[in-house]
Structure 1
Amino acid sequence: MELIDIDKEYLFGTLTSLLNIPSPAGYTDQVVHFVGQELQRLEIPFIVTRRGAIRATLSGGRETFLRAVSVHLDTLGAMVRDLKDNGRLTLSPIGTWSSRFAEGARVTIFTEKGPFRGTVLPLKASGHTFGDEVDRVPVSWNHIEVRIDHRSRSQKDLIDAGFNVGDFVSFDSTPEITPNGFLNARHLDDKAGVALVLAAVQALRKYDVAIPVPAHLLLTISEEVGVGASAVLCGDVAEMVVVDNATVAPGQNSWEFGVTIGMMDAAGPFDYHLTRKLIGLCRDNGIEYSRDVFRHYRSDSASAIEAGNDTRTALVGFGVDGSHGYERTHESSLISVAQLIGLYLQSPPTFARDKDGVSTLNGFPHQPKRDIIQIEV
């Protein structure tokens, strides 16, 4: 195995393109086409499910063992819930996030007559009009509205313009990369994961690095609403590494400058052996890493297991401060995770036995055990 060099220009160019493509869960066709075209350019074969999840395949030496790396293309967003009498829109969130982080955002509303631009505002947005009352507006989706960049002062104006309940609303990502490597943007979760996985694969291709077993790249489209990897994962995949954000916050052990290995999330522990394999790859190759436990978080691992897949799963995170809000990461975290994915794809199977869905006890692994304590009666 070799620690591959990641093309930073490719990584950030791809990420910027992804961030500028609206893709709230349920409105992901455009980003599916973009990623599909990039896979074609990299000469990686893939298939697309009915709804748009992508399963690409990297060929490897041992065809009887399959592994996967999973990322998700969908993001948070919103949907029009009501056309208001004042000519503005009420929203319901797509995904789990606070209206606190929707306030002030520039958005696109996708109507059947075409897209409109707008801004999300609290119901009392003008200090000149409401004075101190602007500071007492509750934080909830019932207390914000979309001001549309269109002449609309009534519900009839909205209807005439083509607005409907159920229109999708995407939030501008507004990416900014600072000279010292920080990246601020909405939707780093999980477009940064998509970009770094593509960068890892691009590097393997560029340096003609062979991988020992075939691997699927799974790009799911509904992770933010809880069902991402429930359908696109094949039953014969023995192990899967999910790449997603690692939440940097007080009480967490994630950080923005290396790899974070998830030990457990809200759905339960990740696979003991695959997780420690990834830790070993970091340790043996000088990749800075930390471990973390996520209490209010679930990933494509949960949807895959809940769908009935008997697959070992692990979670690798790039550090994100302010996840599902005003997100920030650092290039060193993205590059480190990309390098780890490159090493993982070069590594042998965690257990060769896992190529069979069921087998005998021969070759089944052990976890550390304590000495048996004899209790005298």
Structure 2
Amino acid sequence: MSSALKPQLNREYIISKLNELLNIPSPSGYCMEIMNYLRNEVEQFGYTMDQTPKGTGIIVIPGQESGEVIGISAHVDTLGAMVRSIKSSGMIRFTPIGGYAMQTVEGEYCVIHTRDGRKYDGTVLSSRPSVHVYNDVRDFKREEANMEIRIDELVKTKEETEKLGISVGDFISWDPRTRILPNGWVKSRHLDDKASVAALLGLLEWLKREGVTPKYTIKLLISTYEEVGHGCAYIPEDITELIAVDMGAIGDDLSTTEMDVSICAKDSSGPYDYGMTSKLIELAKREGMPHAVDIYPNYGSDASAALRGGSNIRAALIGPGVHASHGMERTHADAIVNTSALLLAYILEA
């Protein structure tokens, strides 16, 4: 595929789907609604999505030839929390789902999801929430034991909160606070990794619209436990190479920006496959895509999980650059669309 034939991806479709994905609560382990959404979406293109017992979605794009199978993964699960206990004041003490600093959620609106389907709004606060009352509020350490959720119901005791149906083990989702701006900036929680899932939907939409069949069968893997480390610990045995699509980190001595497709050469699991990574770099250069190659020492991906799970595969990692990862994140529509375009270039060149 020459640069003159670069796929005309449906940018409006990709960003509209991203907006919908971001507004469906899906902390790790609570992904039922968003997986049903994805199943309905891919069926519109004539594909089906099966799920493993753990919940990973598998979408098969048949190829022209049998033999090699290319896997592409992204994850819909996000950071969140779970009710750890109910305090005597009626406030909720929570335990984190995924790795984030407590100061990144202080003051955030949230929803408590009870096991019987009820939902309650709340706000994350420290247990020293007011400068007018507590002299140590500015220095008070933001850690799990010092944080709580104020429920937007008239409750002042543990018993009153329990009467709402709220119990230990209920999931808590953060308000994404999504803003999609006319100039292409997208700021929201959970761009890690719903921006990548939107890029995969853009790939499916293009293949369907153009009637293109890739040379080799492609299996899209949508994982639901990546943020807790074992999203794609299992992958189908016929996959020979796996591209994990996940956000590119920004900061310190890293080169990636919010306008770039990040190509990761090495993360906490070690170096990614030399041949795959080199090919992705070559294609990004050929297609004139803003991109950067980086090292992420404090990062793991679904490809990392697959390798650690014993999969005999080659693996690579790409994704749109995302600023303030696991906080109030931001990326640009160009980076998401170009991530989709680079994936298409790769599978059409296979």
Q: Check whether TM > 0.5.
A: yes
Provide the C-alpha distance between the structure 1 equivalents of 2:305 and 2:252, rounded to a whole number of angstroms: 27
Alignment of 1:83-232 (within 5 A): 83-113=86-116, 114-130=118-134, 132-231=135-234
* 1:29-44 correspondence runs (5 A): 29-44=32-47
2:264 aligns to what? 262
What is the deviation of 1:335?
1.2
Q: In 1, Cα distance between the equivalents of 2:281 and 2:250?
A: 19
The one of 327, 333, 336 equivalent to 1:334 is 336
What one-letter code is carried by the residue in structure 2 that aligns with 1:230? A
Query: Quick one: which amino acid aligns to residue 20 of structure 2?
Result: S
Contact 1:19–1:191, Cα closer than 8 Å, also in 2 = yes
| Alpha-carbon distance in structure 2 between the residues aligned to 1:210 and 1:162 | 50
Deviation (angstroms), 1:82: 1.2
TM-fit CA distance, 1:77: 0.5
Cα drift, residue 210 of structure 1 = 2.8
Does the residue aligned with 2:138 lie in a helix, a strand or coil? helix
SS of residue matched to 2:215: coil
Deviation, 1:331, is 1.0
Q: What code does the residue aligned with 1:72 have?
A: H
Q: Which of residues 253, 268, 292 is equivalent to 2:255? A: 253
AA partner of residue 119 (structure 1) = T
Paired amino acid for 1:304: A
1:314-371 deviations in whole A, cap 9, x for unaligned? 00021000000110001111111111011112112xxxxxxxxxxxxxxxxxxxxxxx
The letter of the residue matching 1:117 is D
- The secondary structure found in structure 2 opposite 1:120 is strand
Counterpart of 2:245, as a letter, is V
Tell whether the 8 Å contact from 1:127 to 1:134 is kept in structure 2 after alignment: yes
Counterpart Cα distance in 1 of 2:29 and 2:289: 36
The amino acid across from 1:51 in the alignment is K
Q: Residues 201 and 342 of structure 1 are in contact (CA less than 8 Å); yes or no, is this contact kept in structure 2?
A: no
Are residues 1:12 and 2:15 paired? yes
**Which residue of 1 is the match for residue 77 of structure 2?**
74
Report the Cα offset of residue 110 of structure 1. Answer: 0.9
CA shift at 1:129, angstroms? 2.3
> CA-to-partner distance for each residue in 1:120-139, whole Å, 9 max, x for gaps?
01111122322x43212112
Q: Once the two structures are superposed, what CA deviation does each residue of 1:40-90 show, in whole Å capped at 9, x if it has no partner? A: 011113311123211111111111111011001100100111100111001
Is the CA contact 1:261–1:275 (under 8 Å) kept in the aligned structure 2?
Answer: yes
Gaps of 5+ in 1: 349-377
Question: In the alignment, residue 208 of structure 2 is paired with which amino acid?
Answer: R
Partner of 1:273: 275
Percent identity of equivalent pairs: 34
- SS of corresponding position for 2:216: coil
| Residues matched between the structures, number | 346
* 2:66 maps to 1:63: yes
Q: C-alpha separation between the residues in 1 aligned to 2:60 and 2:192?
A: 23
Return the letter of the residue paired with 2:282: G
TM-score (norm 1): 0.90
Matched-pair contact (CA < 8 Å) for 2:49–2:58: yes
CA-based RMSD of the aligned residues comes to 1.1
Gaps in structure 2 of 5+ consecutive residues = none
| Deviation >4 Å, runs of 4+ | none
Per-residue Cα deviation, 1:166-207 (whole angstroms, up to 9, x for no partner): 111000111001222111100000001000111122112212
How far apart are 1:23 and its partner, in Å? 0.3
Amino acid at match of 1:123: S
The 1-side partners of 2:334 and 2:271 are apart by 27
